[in-house]
Structure 1
Amino acid sequence: MPEDMPADFDFLVRYGYGEVTKNEINTYQDTVVKDLIMNGTATADINLTEDEMRSIYERMRGIRIMGKLELVSLKQGCAVVPYQEDSWRITVNGFTRNWSWSGENCELTEDAEKLLELRNFIADIVAGKEEYQALPEAEGGYD
């Protein structure tokens, strides 16, 4: 990734539990989807600032997100329910990379942990936005 954030830098991350990855942060379309669990989903138009995008870009650069990542745990035969799951699409300088990871096998790889930390960092930024705070609260939970 270049040191300076390119003009075409965008990303989309979908996340949730198991196959219920209804939460989405999408800078391609400047939208956020919130999983309301029992009440479906809610969508808001949210623009991240240039500084927020630059901060996210720097974190992505730091974990070399456009390089080779090890996302499948070698520890098999163990299952967690419910488990977290993320899928990513990232565009930098005309190149798009897709990633996904799952916490189903009890243990995350180091790279998956870095993506989880990155997703939490981004979700915290989004959660501070007025547009997100105006969305309804989720009701219920996942077992």
Structure 2
Amino acid sequence: MRMSRISSRGRLPKIRKISALRLALLTTLTGLLVMFAFSGCSLLHKEQAGGPLSHEINEQEDVVYSHGYTIKNLDRLDEFMERRSGSLRLIQYTPEGGPIYKELRYKGGKLVIAYDTTEDDFGPKETGTFVCTALNREDESTVLKYTLTGCEGEYPETALLWIGFELSEMDDFGFVLKYGVNLRNEINTIQEKLVKDLQDGSVAEADHFKLSHGQLQKIFRELVLANYMHDKTLTGSCNIKPSVSYELQIDINNHELQFAWSECDQSADGKEMTALARYIIGMVQEEKLYKELPDIRGYYE
């Protein structure tokens, strides 16, 4: 079953709360980053590539980042950094929708980066290569940075990929996570309540449930990294009895997203969403309000 994004308010999604001025500033900043990373590449290394990189995208292997929307196969980049061998392709879309192609390859203990900006309508259309000594990963609360360092030429440090997840830029954010056998557990930040399945036919409820901004920021980060804005192919069918099911509703920027799946869904999307749900559940179960709820009294056979 393909679980598409659903808007109960009849609006297209507004990914970020951006005024005209902020949008102009964001576009300018992104343009500067692109210029910094690529216009200066001819200064980093004089060697030119033989031609454009392949513009065919491998959805299973290439790292693909659409600004403010989706990030695919990010684990491939982390594996590449840990392996320190072979090659990796990265396709990054600008805010205007133009793809920038990059290919990273370890050679002689260094990183050779080939780039192709020929499909970027708002930047320099060029191809080339430059060389750096290392790729560093820096994980902050609102941004995940991948930075090339020790680069030859005028710019020794260059941003390769920055993924932002600043919650304060959203108009609103809340979620409802139902889980367990027959979905009898519920974490609801919209109605501010918790429901715990006692597994004896009854449930315990707590009102006035809230998570701190810091906790919501962490959850939002996991949502972005789980590619929450991208359509998921999920299944609720399961041959385990009884089985654990999940339903997740996200309300963000006057837009509603819904997902449903079971523990039997071992697809990449299913595993990703199950890990996200368990992250949220683990965080909530450490809360004092949850611990004050009655202990589970029964069990499911």
Instruction: Name the TM-score class by shorter chain.
Output: 0.7 to 0.9
Partner of 1:125: 283
Question: Following the alignment from structure 1 to structure 2, what is the Cα–Cα distance between the partners of residues 139 and 108?
Answer: 30
The 1-side partners of 2:222 and 2:265 are apart by 23
* Uncovered stretches (5+) of structure 2, i.e. residues with no partner: 1-14, 17-164
Paired residue for 1:24?
186
1:129 to partner: Cα distance: 1.0
User: Hey, what does 1:89 align to over in structure 2?
Assistant: 249
Q: Answer 1 or 2: higher relative contact order, Cα 8 Å, separation at least 6.
A: 1
Name the CA distance, whole Å, in 2 between partners of 1:52 and 1:9.
Answer: 12
Give the alignment partner of residue 112 of structure 1, picking from 259, 263, 270: 270
Distance 1:113 1:65 in 2: 13
Please list the CA deviations of residues 70-90 of structure 1 after superposition, one character each: whole Å capped at 9, or x if unmatched.
1138xx8x7221211101110
For 1:1-143, list aligned pairs within 5 A: 1-2=15-16, 3-5=165-167, 6-17=170-181, 20-45=182-207, 46-72=209-235, 79-103=239-263, 106-143=264-301
- In structure 1, how many angstroms separate the alpha carbons of the residues matched to 2:277 and 2:186? 10
Shift of 1:107: 4.5
Percent identical among aligned pairs is: 28
| TM-score with structure 1 setting the length | 0.86
The 3 A distance-change label for structure 1 pair 108 and 93 is same
| Contact 1:63–1:114, Cα closer than 8 Å, also in 2 | yes
TM-fit CA distance, 1:9: 0.8
The 2-side partners of 1:43 and 1:61 are apart by: 30
Partner of 1:117: helix, strand, or coil?
Answer: helix
**1:39 CA drift (Å):** 5.0
Residue 79 of structure 1: SS of its match in structure 2?
coil
Gaps (5+ residues) in structure 1?
none
The DSSP-based 3-state class of the residue aligned with 1:121 is: helix
* Inter-partner Cα distance in structure 2 for 1:25 and 1:61: 19
Q: Which has the larger radius of gyration?
A: 2
Confirm or deny: 8 A CA contact 2:235 2:260 kept in the other structure. no
2:287 aligned partner, one-letter code: K
Using the size of structure 2 for normalisation, the TM-score is: 0.43
Q: Which amino acid aligns with 2:212?
A: T
